Amino acid sequence: MDLSALGVILAGLALPSVALMVADRVNLTNQLARVPLVGNYISTEIGQLGLGVLTTSALAYAAVNFAGVNEKTAIAANMTAIGVLTAGVLVSRVPALTQYFQNINGMHVNGMHGYRGGYLGYLGNAHEGMGEMEMLAEPQSEQLFGLSAAPRVNIF
């Protein structure tokens, strides 16, 4: 597992939240609303997307110049952040996507909420071609197979 790549993705996912905190802290939306041409668009969803892209890009630039972050790392994190911001606007502007994400959220809350592991399925045949299945020593609650294994997971 490439932990540095995972860190870049996590930084990119956190970057929109950090950008929102920074924009609120410096009152950026109200300041840009006073600019003659920009003020008309800053309150729209596209204007907010532009503000988000501007702010995350500024934070990535600051990370490169003042915190010593590698330029490629900052660009990758910023592209992830831009993807998150764009997905948020798309979900709010395309009704089919909004309905789809609401259905996924409902399924999570009503169906899988609280799931902590157990038997997820078997990707093979334990009875044909593999001989006898090898089981762990007793007691059975310590074995990896079945629902009694929660929160461990049987993935084979």
pLDDT digits (tens, 9 = 90+) for 135-156: 555 555 554 444 444 455 545 4
Is pTM beyond 0.75? Reply is no
CB-based contact 85:53 (threshold 8 Å): yes
Question: Under DSSP, is residue 14 helix (H, G, I), strand (E, B) or coil?
Answer: helix
Query: Domain boundaries in the chain?
Result: 3-112, 115-156
Q: Please say if the pLDDT value at position 96 is more than 70.
A: yes
Q: Please report the pLDDT score of residue 39 as a whole number.
A: 82
Residues 6+ apart with CB under 8 A from 95: none
Query: Distance (Å, rounded) from C-alpha 126 to C-alpha 69?
Result: 50
Instruction: Look over the chain and give the mean of its residue pLDDT values, rounded to a whole number.
Output: 75
The β-bridge partners of 154 are 119
Q: Which of 135, 132, 112, 51 is nearest to 85 (CA)?
A: 51
Peptide bond into 36 cis (omega under 30): no
CB-based contact 12:72 (threshold 8 Å): no
Q: Please say if the pLDDT value at position 8 is more than 50.
A: yes
